[in-house]
């Protein structure tokens, strides 16, 4: 995919956040005015409102105030350009885990209910299928019949297989059977959907650990990628979810969904800044093609677009 189209997708998805930032700054700055405490305070409030998180917002304000000392003449463009540069510097280092899998790649997808797990799995399945890979979806959410139906629809859309076992009493047994079958048939990618665990529910977290163990029984080096799905519209709560889920299973990457529906797109930056878990994918809508790999530089440019 060419960068231009990724950029325009980000731009479209983040339009709400961008409009909020711009109108806020626009009211503050008309032409060139001297830097003041009031400008710094308003800017900080805007960054927090856009969900960059308190820590990152405060760091940035400190940088801005050093670069543009009080009374220095500034325009809103100066400040936004500087913010872009600083954010890109902070987030350039991404820690994407690329494993070289010989044989079947096992992807485990976890997250709270409604975060967008099943939808994101549909998008990933489409991506892999378009690369010519054989894909098997595993319905590990055995608690809700609707969840099974939804995953089935996505498997049909993507033209990939699905394994489900409505009679199974425990998701771990569905996962086990599916992986054994995938191994025998040398499937390229297995993506496991799981029930929406509330991170406060200990038994559900225990169940997730059980699924993890079962995966290892079939493929000792799996899961090759564990993705935590986070709904960007839930804001700073996403940080807390990431911390909690990490306790029961190591998380490699985040899939940040619903960036199209929020004025708080800065959560991607807050998570990147605070936790050592990179955002690898972003969801920008409900269709299969409404996703992309997260690119911090393009993302920040789209967020703080100056044109
Ligand atoms: N606008 C938007 N909606 C999304 C996105 N990802 C998921 N959704 C919607 O969020 C709702 C919950 O998604 P679902 O995949 O069922 O979540 P799950 O409970 O975690 O499996 C559904 O209505 C999806 O269509 C996204 O990136 N953008
Ligand atoms: Mg689901």
Predicted pLDDT at 1: 41
Spell out the SS3 assignment of the chain. CCHHHHHHHHHHHCHHHHHHHHHHHHHHCCCCEECCHHHHHHHHHHHHHCCCCHHHHHHHHHHHHHHCCCCCEECHHHHHHHHHHHHHHHHCCCCCCCCCCCCCEEEEEECCCCCCHHHHHHHHHHHHHHCCCCEEEEEECCCCHHHHHHHHHHHHHHCCEEECCCCCCCHHHHHHHHHHHHHHHCCCEEEEEECCCCCCCHHHHHHHHHHHHHHHHHCCCCCCEEEEEEEHHHCCHHHHHHHHHHHHCCCCEEEEECHHHCCCCCHHHHHHHHCCCCEEEEECCCCCCCEEECCHHHHHHHHCCCC
Q: How far apart are the CA of 98 and the centre of ligand 1, in A?
A: 26
Q: Quick check: CB of 76 below 6 Å from ligand 1?
A: no
Q: How far apart are the CA of 152 and the centre of ligand 2, in A?
A: 11
Q: How far apart are the CA of 104 and the centre of ligand 2, in A?
A: 23
Of all atoms in ligand 1, which is nearest to the CA of residue 150? 16
Q: Quick check: CB of 114 below 6 Å from ligand 1?
A: yes
Predicted pLDDT at 168: 61
Of all atoms in ligand 1, which is nearest to the CA of residue 113? 19
- Give which of 80, 82, 86, 44 is closest to 61, Cα–Cα: 44
Q: How far apart are the CA of 209 and the centre of ligand 1, in A?
A: 24
Q: Which of 112, 257, 263 to mutate to test the pocket of ligand 1 (most atoms within 8 A of CB)?
A: 257
Predicted pLDDT at 22: 66
- Give which of 155, 240, 167, 231 is closest to 193, Cα–Cα: 155
Q: What are 290's two structure tokens?
A: 């409404």
Predicted pLDDT at 7: 60
Tell me which residues of the chain have a pLDDT lower than 50: 1-3
Q: What are 155's two structure tokens?
A: 């498997």
* Whole-prediction pTM: 0.85
Predicted pLDDT at 2: 40
Predicted pLDDT at 3: 46
Percent of the residues in the chain that have a pLDDT greater than 90, as a whole number = 42
Which residue do the tokens 């510097």 mark? 89
- Closest listed ligand to the CA of 285: 1
**Distance separating alpha carbons of residues 247 and 174, to the nearest angstrom:** 23
Predicted pLDDT at 126: 97
Query: Quick check: 65 and 40 in contact, CB under 8 A?
Result: yes
């Amino acid at each position: 995919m060419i960068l231009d189209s990724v950029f325009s997708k980000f731009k479209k998805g983040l339009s709400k956040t961008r409009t909020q930032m711009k109108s806020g700054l626009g009211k503050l700055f008309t032409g060139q005015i001297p830097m003041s405490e009031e400008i710094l305070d308003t800017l900080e409030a805007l960054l927090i409102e856009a969900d960059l998180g308190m820590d990152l917002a405060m760091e940035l304000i400190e940088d801005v105030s050093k670069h543009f000392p009080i009374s220095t003449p500034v325009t809103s463009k100066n400040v936004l350009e500087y913010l872009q540069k600083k954010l890109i510097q902070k987030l350039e280092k991404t820690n994407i885990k690329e494993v070289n899998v010989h044989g079947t790649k096992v992807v485990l997808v976890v997250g709270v209910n409604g975060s967008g797990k099943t939808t994101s799995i549909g998008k990933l399945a489409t991506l892999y299928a378009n690369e010519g890979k054989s894909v098997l979806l595993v319905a590990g959410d055995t608690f809700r019949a609707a969840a099974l139906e939804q995953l089935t629809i996505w498997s049909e859309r993507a033209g990939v297989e699905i394994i489900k076992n409505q009679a199974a009493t425990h998701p771990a047994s569905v996962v086990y059977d599916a992986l054994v079958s995938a191994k025998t048939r040398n499937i390229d990618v297995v993506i496991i959907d799981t029930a929406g665990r509330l991170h406060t529910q200990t038994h559900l977290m225990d169940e997730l650990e059980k699924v993890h163990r079962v995966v290892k029984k079939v493929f000792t080096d799996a899961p090759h990628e564990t993705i935590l799905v986070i709904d960007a519209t839930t804001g700073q709560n996403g940080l807390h979810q990431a911390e909690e889920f990490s306790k029961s299973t190591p998380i490699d990457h985040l899939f940040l969904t619903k960036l199209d529906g929020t004025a708080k797109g800065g959560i991607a930056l807050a998570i990147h800044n605070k936790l050592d878990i990179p955002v690898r994918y972003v969801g920008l809508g409900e269709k299969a093609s409404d996703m992309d790999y997260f690119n911090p530089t393009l993302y920040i440019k789209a967020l703080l677009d100056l044109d």
